[in-house]
A = this chain, B = another copy of it.
Amino acid sequence: MSKLTPVQQKFILHWGEMGLKWGINRTVAQIHALLFISPKPLNAEQICDLLDVARSNVSTSLRELQNWKIVKVVHTMGDRRDHFESMKDAWEMFRVVLDERKMREIDPTVAMLRDCVAETEKPGAKDEYTRERLASLRDFFVTMSGWYDQVDQLPTSGIIKFVKMGDKLRKLFGGG
């Protein structure tokens, strides 16, 4: 890690902790941070070297990042080794991560809530109140998902415009 500048170290360490708080393995997040600030794609060996983690650990972490779709393999002429590069556009990157989390976590949660509500609707069910609460939670997720699907279809430039419209929101929706 001492082969990196102090600023690079600071960023990578912070990003690692950040990942942890959002349920991402620390090393995975660190490797992502490293690739994010690397001007050129790096191979696994270089990553080991820069972050002092075992080869195997780098290997699994890279696979993880590829599963998240924010890191891709690149090949260069005359070098058999895989090189890895991160997406560089933050807007795209977060969109991709949100897509993935929605698919992995939100959609199954909605399904679970539907199941639960359905079960409590069977005759003789003892959990009135539970049904009511879970139904409201389901509605929340469904509404949010629908909204996200819409936003997700916008081109990045559209999202940026939309996010920057800022104070117009108050005028349009501030009245409750």
Contact = CB atoms under 8 A, between A and B. Distances in A.
Interface of A: 5-8, 10-11, 14, 18, 20-23, 36-39, 88-91, 94, 104-105, 109, 112-113, 115-116, 119-120, 125-127, 129-130, 133-134, 136-137, 139-141, 143-144, 146-147, 150-151, 153-155, 157-164, 166-167, 169-170, 172-176
B130 A8 contact: yes
Chain A contact residues: helix, strand, loop or mixed: helix
B144 A170 contact: no
A173 B169 contact: no
A176 B35 CA distance: 28
Contacts of A153: 170, 174
Contact of A174 (B20, B134, B158): B158
B170 A147 contact: no
A157 B176 contact: yes
A158 B146 contact: no
B158 A175 contact: yes
A176 B104 CA distance: 28
A161 B147 CA distance: 11
A23 B6 CA distance: 28
